[in-house]
Amino acid sequence: MSEYKHQHPVMIILDTIKSIIYAIPPLFFFALSTRGELSGVNISYFLWIAVIFFVLLILYSAAKWYFYTYQYKDGYLNIRRGLLFKKERSIKRERVQTVNIRTNILLKLLGVASVQVKTAGSGVESELTLNAVTIEETQNIKGYLETQPIQKYHDEYQAEIEHGEKEAKVNSYHISPWNLFLAGATSGRFMLLFSVIAAVFSQIYPYIPDAYLRFVLEQIIPETGVNVILLAMLLLGLLLLSWAISTLVFMVRYANFTITRQDDDFRISWGVIEQKEYNLNLNRVQALSVQDGLLRQPFGLCSISAEVAGGSSEKQDYITRLYPLLHFSELSKFLEDIFPEYSMPEEEDMQLLPIRSRKRYVIRSSIPVLVLVLLLQLLPHGWVSLLLLPPAILLGLSRYNAGRTAILDKQLTFRYRNINRYHVFVLKNHIQSLQISSNPFQRRSDLGTVRVSVLSSPAGKDFKIADVDNMENKKIWRWFSRS
């Protein structure tokens, strides 16, 4: 219980710094666009404007801090905020899904942390953030909002432990530095970073001295023709640079990644520069998804995520990374320790797609590429696009070979491939709906598409496998319909 409180005064500094950071990019490009055109008088006026803006910014942040107060009592978290337009908001404790704590090096130096309260529902109103409260206060808020609603359950659990009826059990997994490196190196994000580097270069290109550009071009395109080796080395160097940066960023972001389970509660924490802590209850987990990326599958590596119910409209609130990298051979042990409600089916228990489905997978992946190839024939050297057809056919074959279904006592398992390969585990009581459909072409081959829906994300989440034998579809339907 507490009266209305202010956040820590360092919130004024943090808000001011954040506003200044947001203002840096436009000021930078403004300075570039006016270089050489500002006289001493104009610079003086510019500096005075910057000082006045900075003072006003601090005053605004101070007023924002003063008029933002919070209180937690009587089963509610109450918020009052606003300078001109006052707003009051109350969050009932029973609606709180998670209380996440976030900190970084700056917040640690200042002795504060950020608390993010997630509630059931979607949209902006499903979350509330206190940007700067003391470490002790974060634990008080977290304990009040998360522990109290289930205090009766914990009291009963503790009583069972004290009487020897139940043994307290805590399981924890911590990623090793080597696995963290492998996770970053095989994340496939370097191509995205490569495109970012190219976009940044396109923006600074006009400001590079012409002499430097001419020197580089003379090396790549001398009088004798294009220096293919040098050009290839330059592109390879950029790719290696983007790979190294993306790997380093991934390792820093997910350093010290730890998942701990106690009873039906999970605590997931990670990060060095920005430390995050996420709490999750088993009842919110609707499905587990194991992903084998193209770069990871040859090494037998995978990552594990969970589809979570009750998040906001942001993707990270309804898809939770449970473990960034795991050897596939260790998956069964991981599930046994952390998620014993789920299990990995044996390979012989998984039903393959019928042979007659193979041509349908090949056709589906080849037709879009074939249309593109035909259009490119109108251009000079369009015949080169024919090289796109073999990869499309191989992708179709790979999708067919990956397709599997498995029925356990209380669990349905799908295995399929888009570009990456996925194993999806769904418990029967978490399936919102099951649909089996077939189009006229599928009916001719006695095939159908099975689709399951779970409660995740604002619109729900669907998993499907096409061209499953109708005998298997009937088994799945009977399994789901059986009470």
Closest CA to 320 of 461, 112, 177, 179: 461
Task: Please state, in angstroms and rounded to a whole number, the distance separating the CA atoms of residues 190 and 241.
Answer: 9
Are the C-beta atoms of 366 and 396 separated by less than 8 Å? Answer: yes
pTM: 0.71
Residue 155 to residues 146, 148, 152, Cα–Cα distance (Å): 14, 11, 5
Are the C-beta atoms of 221 and 274 separated by less than 8 Å? Answer: no
Cα angle 275, 276, 278 (rounded to 5 degrees) comes to 160
Please name the helix (run of DSSP H) or strand (run of DSSP E) that holds residue 2, with its range, or none: none
Name the β-bridge partners of 352: 404
Closest CA to 60 of 11, 21, 23, 26: 11
Residue 263's CB is within 10 A of a number of other CB atoms, namely 15
Q: Provide the residue-wise pLDDT of the chain in tens; the chain has 483 residues.
A: 458 888 888 888 888 888 888 777 776 666 656 555 555 556 677 777 778 888 888 898 888 888 888 888 888 888 888 877 788 888 888 777 778 888 887 888 888 888 888 776 545 455 678 888 888 888 888 878 875 444 444 444 455 545 555 555 688 999 988 988 988 888 876 666 666 666 666 666 666 666 666 666 665 566 555 555 666 677 777 778 878 888 888 888 888 899 999 888 888 988 888 788 888 888 889 999 999 888 888 888 999 999 888 655 454 555 688 999 899 889 999 999 999 999 999 888 899 999 999 999 999 999 999 999 888 888 888 888 888 899 999 999 999 999 999 999 899 999 999 889 999 999 999 999 999 999 999 999 999 999 999 987 666 789 999 999 999 999 999 999 875
Task: Please state, in angstroms and rounded to a whole number, the distance separating the CA atoms of residues 254 and 83.
Answer: 38
Task: Please state, in angstroms and rounded to a whole number, the distance separating the CA atoms of residues 466 and 448.
Answer: 6
DSSP symbol at 145: I
Termini Cα distance of the chain = 45
